[in-house]
Amino acid sequence: MAEKNIKNKEAHEKFKAIIDQIDIGTICSFNADSPYPHGVPMSRQEVDEDSNVWYILSAESETFKNLEKDNKISVFYADPKNYTFLSVNGTASLSRDQERIDKYWNKMMEGWFEKGKTDPNIRILKVNPEEAHYWDSGSNKITMLFGMIKKIVTVSKEDVGNEGDLEL
């Protein structure tokens, strides 16, 4: 893979496109009592114009409790079928912003919050990315594998995708 670091608007567009394509990210929070991160899959609600990623979570969750004590957060997105991956490190902000709860509320949320959108345990999580790194083949797995084989057999310098930092 060729290294292609991206900055500014192009970086934001790539960041948003990958997250919108994959949707489910593994949110990793950190607990002082464990040397390992606590990871849970969560569906993003929005990537805003400042590249913040928004989620809804429960104040009863281990993720929420960890983030209250340590706002460091990592999020990993993976689409192995298309060889697209994104790693994000940053800080988390937690709130009870009713406007955002109203904005993001949908039928799926009812399965998580039985009392509806006024459930006192609903919280908004904002991930402010400080570092982001992507891997993207630009094609599906089979095409990428053929490209890799071709590169090996023909000793070609042809790239089989890009990876790099996203400077948001």
- Cα angle 23, 105, 28; round to 5: 40
123, 57 contact by CB (below 8 A): yes
Q: Would you say 64 and 30 are in contact if contact means Cβ atoms under 8 Å apart? A: no
Range with lowest mean pLDDT among 7-16, 98-107, 114-123, 144-153: 144-153
Alpha-carbon distance 75 to 158, whole Å?
31
| pLDDT band (50, 70, 90) for residue 2 | confident
Rounded Cα–Cα distance for residues 100 and 114 (Å): 18
pTM for this predicted structure: 0.86
Write out pLDDT tens, residues 82-102.
889 999 999 999 999 999 999
Check whether 151 has a pLDDT greater than 70: no
pLDDT tens for 36-54 read: 999 999 999 999 999 999 9
Residue 111: both structure tokens together:
């399965």
Give all domains of the chain, ordered by start, each with its CATH number.
Answer: 2-167 (2.30.110.10)
Which pLDDT belongs to residue 98? 95
pLDDT for the residue 74: 98
CA dihedral 43, 46, 51, 54 (to 10 degrees): -60
